Amino acid sequence: MKILDIREIAVPIKSDIRNAYIDFSQMTVSALAVITDVVRDGKRVVGFGFNSNGRYAPSGLLRDRFMPRLLAADPHSLVDDTGANFDPFKIWNIVMRNEKPGGHGERSVAVGVLDMAIWDAVAKIAGVPLYRLLADRFRGGVADAKVFVYAAGGYYYPEKSLSALQEEMQGYIDLGYSVVKIKIGGAQLAEDLRRIESVLKVLKSGDQLAVDANGRFDLETAIAYAHALEPYQLRWYEEAGDPLDYELQAELAGHYQGPMATGENLFSVQDARNLIRYAGMRSNRDVLQFDCALSYGLVEYLRILDMLKEYGWSARRCIPHGGHQLSLNIAAGLGLGGNESYPGIFQPFGGFADNTPVENSYIALPDIPGIGFESKKELFRLLKTLSDN
């Protein structure tokens, strides 16, 4: 059992959207294929991976360091003790050899891409969907039949009117979502409140709407927003300040009783642990959004879940950023609280299996081996170009 080749391409995901921090017009994604010599259903098993949105394609890091290390490894060192499958943990250690501690950015994305492809291959070799494999290995066989998903959108499109924003949100409702999210902080507070109120008009209650500042606020602004947002009783108030400013987050907790959410820009178990240690996050209401595809992959995410357990947090408090199928599998297999979704954007990477309806903001997973990319036609068309020939 061995890895025959690893192939990577960087793909643009051009979009005219922007959040409070960046615009996405130059954003790229690494798509990667791990070609194995294992045959299932008459074909070679290929594992696919890609990085989540918000960070750039880590092509150089993959090509200069991580792909060569894996390709140079003794094939026996990549296989689990049964000899029947690859071992994502052993592979992770090989890939991270000769990397110093600290500095968890960019390389965490590169390793995340590779790790996604490895888990896809491992589940395909096992002949089961990844959520089933995870439930069997780590949760006594219990998998959730469906996963909570919410529709993240409400970006600041150039010239977008309030009625266009309402239409966008109504579109998500029509798709079956009952919880939606919009950006704040890219405009003044008064305008953001108008945006919020216009969206609330198409919803039944405040807890159907989350708002996301993308880390833009200083403490004073974060508190001003907190006071203004509190009466709406929103689903959550997300990433008010810089993701590493735990003191701001802890201080803000004294000014906002409703749920808060953060974590999408913390890319290691060490950073996640510091959030839990120092940011005053409340395990009975707050939401943790660590995204494995930006954070050294599922191998590291399992460490994060272990750490959370140690600190008395339920995995149900985790609703990962990113809107990709790997986190959806993790949510179903390991019992997370849900997963982000970006209907229609970050295509073809964002979103889940084709023809699986969202009902009351819950979605089921396809019953095919692996992460399920083959059930997402436009994505698979792109990924397949990596494994053809």
Q: Which residues contact 326 (CB under 8 A, 6 or more apart)?
A: 116, 119, 130, 292, 293, 298, 371
Listed ranges 150-158, 159-167, 171-179, 261-269: which one lies at the site for its own copies (CB under 8 A): 261-269
Q: Any contact of residue 286 with its own copies (CB under 8 A)?
A: no
> Least distance to its own copies from the beta carbon of 220, Å?
16
Indicate if 376 belongs to the active site.
no
CA nearest neighbour of 361 among 188, 235, 246, 224: 235
Residue 277 within binding range of its own copies, rule CB under 8 A: yes
Is residue 7 near its own copies by the rule CB under 8 A? no
Give CA torsion, residues 70, 292, 51, 24, to 10 deg.
Answer: -150
378 touches its own copies by CB under 8 A: no
For 381, half-sphere exposure in the C-beta direction (CA atoms, 13 angstrom radius) is 5
Size of the site for its own copies (CB under 8 A): 48
Does the protein bind its own copies through residue 5 (CB under 8 A)? no
> Does residue 104 belong to the site contacting its own copies (CB under 8 A)?
yes
Q: Which is nearer to its own copies, 175 or 253 (CB)?
A: 253
Q: How far is the CB of 263 from its own copies (least distance, A)?
A: 10
Q: Contact between 103 and its own copies (CB under 8 A)?
A: yes
CA 273/CA 279 separation, integer angstroms: 10
Question: What's 66's DSSP letter?
Answer: I
Residues 242, 245, 247, 249, Cα dihedral to 10°: 40
Q: Write down the least CB distance from residue 258 to its own copies, Å.
A: 23
Q: Which is nearer to its own copies, 8 or 286 (CB)?
A: 8
- The single residue listed with the structure tokens 């296989």 is 79
Window 34-63: residues binding its own copies (CB under 8 A): 54-61, 63
**Of 112, 243, 280, 335, which lies in the binding site for its own copies, with binding defined by CB under 8 A?**
243
Q: Which residue has the tokens 């990397």?
A: 99
Q: Which stretch binds its own copies (CB under 8 A): 87-95, 142-150, 267-275, 331-339?
A: 267-275
Catalytic pick from 321, 324, 376, 377?
321
Beta strand 362-364 with 146-152 is antiparallel
- Contact indicator for 370, 130 with CB cutoff of 8 Å: yes
Token pair 């698979």 is found at 380
Q: Does 71 bind its own copies (CB under 8 A)?
A: no
Q: How far is the CB of 212 from its own copies (least distance, A)?
A: 12
Element (H, E) at 250: helix 246-253
Which of 52, 375 has the CB closer to its own copies? 52
Range in contact with its own copies (rule: CB under 8 A) among 103-111, 168-176, 220-228, 329-337: 103-111
76 counts as catalytic: no
Of 25, 33, 14, nearest to 382 (Cα)? 33
Rounded Cα distance, 7 and 30, in Å: 10
Q: Which of 112, 153, 215, 323 binds its own copies (CB under 8 A)?
A: 215
Q: Is 266 in the site for its own copies (CB under 8 A)?
A: yes
Q: Determine which one of 183, 201, 204, 384 is catalytic.
A: 183
- 270 is a contact residue toward its own copies (CB under 8 A): yes
> Sign of torsion, CA 198 201 205 209?
negative
- Does 354 help bind its own copies (rule: CB under 8 A)? no
Nearest CA-CA partner of 196 in 184, 179, 204, 185: 184
Residues forming the active site: 183, 321
Which residues make up the interface to its own copies (CB under 8 A)? 10, 21-23, 26, 28, 54-61, 63-65, 97-108, 214-215, 242-247, 265-268, 270-271, 273-274, 277-278, 294
